[in-house]
């Protein structure tokens, strides 16, 4: 599923980016381009970041 329609970035790509060390929406944008256009996906990216942080905290 696409997280960012403008840049055609999928949720998987965002997860890969986080796995590679991205910790902020800005880092995800710099790596994948997601959020670099209309920015309406930034909230979704933040939610994915938050979820992965929670997983790390729990683990």
Which residue in the block uniquely carries the two structure tokens 């997280």? 3
CB of 56 to ligand FES, least distance (A): 24
Nearest distance, CB of residue 23 and ligand FES, angstroms: 19
* Distance (Å) of CA 55 to CA 19, 37, 48: 12, 29, 11
CB of residue 38 vs ligand FES: minimum separation in angstroms?
A: 3
Binding residues (CB under 6 A) for ligand FES: these are 4-7, 34-41
Q: Is 49 helix (H, G, I), strand (E, B) or coil?
A: helix
Which CB sits closer to ligand FES, 5 or 55? 5
């Amino acid at each position: 599923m696409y997280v960012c329609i403008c840049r055609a970035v999928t949720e998987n790509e965002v997860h890969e980016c986080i796995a590679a060390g991205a910790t902020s929406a800005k880092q995800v944008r710099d790596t994948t381009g997601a959020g670099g256009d209309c920015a309406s996906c930034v909230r979704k990216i933040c939610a994915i970041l938050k979820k992965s942080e929670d997983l790390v905290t729990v683990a």
